[in-house]
Chain A
Amino acid sequence: MITRPRVLEALGTVYDPELDEPITTLGFVGSVAVDGGSVAVRLRLPTPQCAPNFAFLMAADASRALWRLEGVTSVDVVLEDHYTGAEINATVNAGGSFSDAFPGETRGELDALRALFQRKALLARQSRLLSEVPRRLGDLHGPEADRCRELRRALGIDASDEAAPFVTGDGVPVDATDVRFRRMASMTALSLETNGHLCRDLLRVRYGEEAAA
């Protein structure tokens, strides 16, 4: 049976591609309604003009994650209060792609954009593991390391236990003491974290909510 906690669990696997954080912890899930096999989810973003490409990815990923729930018979994802909400909602719920939503305004789909930000996320995540001295990827543990493995797999970078523990965004093994790597990784992490805070602050002000931790 589909329950609210299972829906939220499914939505917890959907990441804001730009911030590399689940949409559930960012507060982007406005409401969830379950009626038998029907699931309706409303998503909300910090501003009405958040970039349409990232907004589309989140809505489409949310729809896919919900369709994977056992026993689901219908899925309705609505991105609310957004400039391009009408185009995105209609396309996502019909199973269409980004270029279907914005005909003539795209050159390709969003795979390259997603990969670009997965590389940034990988760099940022690794900066939080640099205090360790692992010999191989299998020596790294915890949620940051797990997310690095997920990102490496998504990018086609070796994520086996014997693989190099640290890699550049392009997947080239790099020494943890490499100053340039450390500097770029920590700056990328700072960028993603700062953007995440700005998004949270704007969302809170927009919807008149109290500060989250």
Chain B
Amino acid sequence: MYEKDGEKYFIVDSHLHFWDASPANWVKGQEEFAKGWIECFHAYQGLGPADTHWTLEHFQKYSVEDFEKDVFTEGYVDRAIFQSTYLKEWYTTGFNDIEQNGSLLDRFPGKLMVNGRFDPRDGEAGLEQLEADHAKYGIKGLKLYTAEWNNGSRGWKLTDPEARPFFDKCVELGIKNIHVHKGPTIWPLDKDSFDVSDVDHVATDYNGELNFIVEHVGLPRIEDFCFMATQEPNVYAGLSVVIGGLMHARPKFFAKVMGELLFWVGEDKMLFGSDYAIWEPKWQIEGFVDWEMPDDEAFSDFPRLGVEGKKKILGLNAAKLYDIEVPEEYRIPVPPEEPAREESAVAVHP
């Protein structure tokens, strides 16, 4: 919970990790990739305020106590959603697979949720694993990383025919929130790997059944993402990297990117995610609540974001998607003259 100027914010951090990228976990022969990946993430942390930077050693592997302090004790987070990221070609036990993330569930009852994943290249075995993960963890969401390397393949698209049975399985099991993370490679390599048109296709096909949360708002293809999201009712903007990577380092561009997102996507479909441990949630939440769209001419075309919008983005929108019950004091009051509509009740019924 975060409180500022008499306003109370219920915080759902919809994108974080509990990873192990220490050298002991690097796959033999793949050290260059494992090392490069975590050093790249560490460089991203460099875009946040200097007093929030960690040493590379600490960044490679942090403890449960660090996690508790950074996320819950000092980070204001009420509910945290792990986005499992496997990368088992590079990290022996995975970068942060569902087991690693899930190991924290008992330690913080009621505060953590864990999302699974699938890789269509795993075929039938992958489908069985998805069912098993659902049975064990009751997952309500997945994170898909399309640039993952797998047995000589450097990536996949959501429209690949092999992915279809997996989406159908998600519908069957009630796994309704699909977080999509694009990366630098895909098959075939001559195509733009960051292209989001495959999300567009599957979002249309599964409208009413699955939600697609595009992580880091499709960066570096924010223009394609905005144009697509405005047409697809079940496409959402995950703000990881936007707040962490731009709010401090490039405030003017942060304001413009927020302006475009508010215009095209709208405050009802944007979700806060700290991307911890890349960035700690504390400074991101404090800064975001304080943030105002600049008043000068260059920003006059953009909608403004008020306290209600910030409450939605920081927690209420994600609470709705994940059926998280929000205590009365954090909800946005419904005007008395207006009869309460179903969508005004933020997941009162699970």
Contact = CB atoms under 8 A, between A and B. Distances in A.
Nearest to A104: B152
B250 A197 contact: yes
Given A46-B43, A98-B189, 13 more contacts: A18-B220, A48-B37, A53-B190, A81-B36, A98-B190, A113-B190, A187-B260, A190-B222, A194-B256, A195-B219, A198-B246, A202-B43, A206-B40
B245 interface: yes
A53 B189 contact: yes
Interface residues of A, number: 39
Interface string A1-37: 0000000000000000010000000000000000000
Given A197-B253, A198-B245, A102 B47 contact: no
A191 B221 contact: yes
B214 interface: no
A106 B193 CA distance: 12
Contact of B220 (A48, A102, A109, A195): A195
B270 to A, nearest CB: 16
A130 interface: no
Interface stretch (B13-21, B180-188, B285-293): B180-188
A194 B246 contact: yes
A198 B44 CA distance: 9
B188 A105 contact: yes
B87 to A, nearest CB: 11
Given A49-B36, A195-B219, A201-B249, A107 B188 contact: yes
A194 B249 contact: no
Given A190-B256, A190-B257, A105 B154 contact: yes
A191 B223 contact: yes
A49 B184 contact: yes
Interface of B: 32-33, 36-37, 39-40, 43-44, 46-47, 154, 183-185, 187-194, 219-223, 226-227, 245-246, 249-250, 253, 256-257, 260, 264
Contacts of A172: none
B37 A194 contact: no
Contacts of B223: 120, 184, 187-188, 190-191
A51 B190 contact: no
Interface in A151-168: none
